[in-house]
Chain A
Amino acid sequence: MDWEILLQQLLNGLVLGSVYSLVALGYTMVYGVLGLINFAHGEVVMIGALTAFSVGRLLQALLPGLPGPVVLLLATLAAIPVCMALGFVIERVAYRPLRYAPRLAPLITAIGVSILLQHIAMLVWGRNYHSFPQYLSNEPFNVLGASLTLVQVVIVVVAVAMMGGLMLLVHRTRLGRAMRATAENQSIAGLMGVDINAIISVTFIIGSALGAVAGVMVAANYGVTHYYMGFLLGLKAFTAAVLGGIGNLGGAVLGGLLLGMIESLGAGYIGDLTGGVFGSNYQDVFAFFVLIIVLVMRPSGLMGERVAERA
């Protein structure tokens, strides 16, 4: 086995995994508080990426002299509030009225919202792939024989910073305590004076902000954005959340990183392992098999608590 290739795949996996972790946090936070899978989260990520793309292009047209990193920063800062607002509206319109309805109802509205967002994005941005400009230098540099770009380093650093910030928020602040209390038991938290509705809204807003950043990262890493990018990304991030133990923040991060590694190593080596029968075009399948295996072997995930049917 070639060390440099292995290291390269691991680094790619780390970059991919950081993005999955950020998106997975959005799923797991909502799940922790509401016990509901927010199907539309992948679409929020997609809207974030496309908003950043448009804002970036606008900025470059208006202020051609602006350096790339500044444009990227401003575009990301513009995408975050858009996604926050979107997350807030989604919860308000599609989930809140159905909070005490049968389980199937919010799942179906979530699908509806997802389809709606996808096709609105298709109307606004068209069916084509948009190439996301290289705002950061994509000159590769050498790390122990593997190559890495500045974009990838920034992705990992920002992801780690955001996850750290979230952990601090959830475990060290008053708001975080209210969130944990709501996740533990909604009605008791309400009795203790926690404004449940506000906390649930805040959870959606924070998750969507993380999603917006993740969307920009994906776009910057692959250099393309597309109205359909949220679907597969969302599916994989959800897998990451399940792998780590849904509802558990640390689990989402771990699951995301692991899934990134599995995908990257799998895509890199499946050709050799199967003697060329399967190629890297099956990369998207791994996440799904991981999901099935986790659900069969350990449905509570690596770090999760028991997932029982709530009566």
Chain B
Amino acid sequence: MADWLTGMKRDPRARWLGVALVALALGVLPFVVGAAGGRGWVRIVDFALLYVMLALGLNIVVGFAGLLDLGYIAFYAVGAYLYALLASPHFGVHLPFWVLLPLGASVAGVFGVLLGAPTLKLRGDYLAIVTLGFGEIIRIFLNNLNAPVNITNGPQGVNMIDPIAFGGFSLGHTHRIMGIEVPSVHLYYYLFLALALSVILISLRLENSRIGRAWVAIREDEIAAKSMGINTRNIKLLAFAMGATFGGVAGGLFAGFQGFVSPESFILMESIVVLCMVVLGGMGHIPGVILGAVLLAAMPELFRHTIVPLQRELFGRIVVDPEVVRMLLFGLALVLVMLFRPAGIWPSTTRKRELAS
């Protein structure tokens, strides 16, 4: 099996064929999913792609650089609210997507630097606590900044956010392209797919770059990395800013897609969910993280279709909320994975080698 795989990797024709097949599969995926399970499932696929972006962003911070960030969702919130406020009737401002995407990314990045600067000189534990607090603070501000000047509209959130549009081509409603009817969720799927692929590409290129190697060096031994001439503080800040940037982009997409944002979407548990995706999939291993994100993003739906009917069958009513079951499993999984499979369900070969020796 392994021989067959490496053989295929070596043969360029087989490789291109593989890429073409994957591209075709990803291209028709929304139509297949839509035909099989309805548009609700296409929506779930869209969200899975958003989570892939988020998980890869957090992977840079936690997986590559080894900095535990427990408030990652705050950057997602910054991106989402920025989009929501600058493209909705709330302020009457309607900036185009082309302006908002880089703006959201850079504002989130600046927040990342602001948060990282005071704490990155210190030990990792402090960073974990400060980011935890930061996530909560952002939520408290979003919740309360509706008085005396109404900025965030408080707990009600901002609604009627403009759908993402390119010039006159809005993704918010169904289009007819070459005789095929393409609904809004499908259009968002292609946009998210394109951005998720670029995030994957950036991650892959970063991993083996000078910066990526510096991150891994810091993760493994900060003092040794420093003595090799790595400016650890700046490189750590860069990891933090980069992760935040990805979060900000995903947040903007979320706001445009959903059409509505409220502080409820950015609670601590969301940060934990993204952390679970990274840890379970395999910290620092990009395919593992993608797998983790897709699996965990699909989990609530899966539970809704298994645990709820199962409980109805057994007890005649819903005894345990599937959401609680999910969080219980997440907590348990974090503990068990760290104890028995610290490199995740799909670890990178180097980590596997390190842990085996």
Contact = CB atoms under 8 A, between A and B. Distances in A.
Contact of A113 (B130, B140, B335): B335
B140 A123 contact: no
Interface string B119-133: 101111110111011
B339 interface: yes
Interface in B136-160: 136-137, 140-141, 144, 147-148
B324 A311 contact: no
A296 B118 contact: yes
A237 B342 CA distance: 30
A105 B338 contact: yes
Contact of A114 (B68, B283, B331): B331
Interface residues of A, number: 52
B320 interface: yes
Interface size of B as a range: 35 or more
Interface string A68-98: 0000000000000000000000000110011
Interface stretch (A144-152, A162-170, A194-202, A280-288): A280-288
A291 B118 CA distance: 10
A273 interface: no
Contacts of A122: 324
B202 interface: no
A93 B328 contact: no
Contacts of A101: 338, 342
A120 B327 CA distance: 10
Contact of A309 (B129, B136, B137, B223): B223
A52 to B, nearest CB: 23
A307 B123 CA distance: 8
B191 to A, nearest CB: 33
B334 interface: yes
Contact of A307 (B122, B136, B148, B333): B122
A224 interface: no
B343 to A, nearest CB: 11
A109 B334 CA distance: 6
A104 B66 contact: yes
Interface string B317-357: 00010001001101111110011001000000000000000
A292 interface: yes
Interface string B3-30: 0000000000000000000000000000
Contact of A115 (B118, B327, B338): B327
The interface residues of chain B, by DSSP majority, are classed as helix
B338 A119 contact: no
Contact of B222 (A36, A105, A309): A309
Given A109-B339, A288-B134, A277 B122 contact: no
A235 B339 contact: no
Interface string B258-291: 0000000000100010010001000100000000
A231 to B, nearest CB: 7
B118 A311 contact: no
Contacts of B272: 111, 115
A277 B137 contact: no
Main secondary structure of the interface of A (DSSP, over half): helix
A288 B268 contact: no
A113 B62 CA distance: 19
A108 B268 contact: no
A94 B337 CA distance: 11
B118 A104 contact: no
B244 interface: no
Contacts of A238: 129
A36 B137 CA distance: 24
Which of A106, A107, A112, A117 has the largest number of chain B CB atoms within 10 A?
A: A112
Interface in A112-141: 112-120, 122-123
B129 A37 contact: yes
Given A116-B335, A282-B144, A296-B118, A111 B342 contact: no
A74 B130 CA distance: 37
A276 interface: yes
Query: For B272, B320, B338, which residue has the most chain A Cβ atoms within 10 angstroms?
Result: B338
B108 interface: no
B42 interface: no
Q: Which of A102, A119, A288, A309 has the most CB of B within 10 A?
A: A119
B118 A105 contact: no
A123 B129 contact: no
A93 B334 CA distance: 13
B324 A282 contact: no
Nearest to A288: B133
A92 to B, nearest CB: 12
B107 interface: no
A295 B119 contact: yes
Interface in A255-296: 276-277, 279, 281-282, 284-285, 287-288, 291-292, 295-296
B118 A107 contact: no
A116 B122 contact: no
Given A111-B272, A231-B268, A98 B338 contact: yes
Q: Which 9 A-B pairs have the closest CB atoms?
A: A112-B334, A116-B331, A115-B331, A112-B335, A288-B133, A296-B118, A109-B338, A37-B125, A119-B327
16 contacts: A98-B338, A104-B66, A104-B283, A105-B338, A112-B330, A114-B331, A116-B331, A119-B328, A122-B324, A242-B129, A291-B133, A295-B122, A295-B126, A295-B130, A299-B122, A307-B122
Interface of B: 62, 66, 68, 70, 118-119, 121-126, 128-130, 132-134, 136-137, 140-141, 144, 147-148, 222-223, 268, 272, 275, 279, 283, 320, 324, 327-328, 330-335, 338-339, 342
Given A109-B334, A288-B133, 10 more contacts: A112-B334, A116-B335, A118-B327, A277-B148, A281-B140, A284-B136, A295-B126, A295-B130, A309-B222, A310-B123
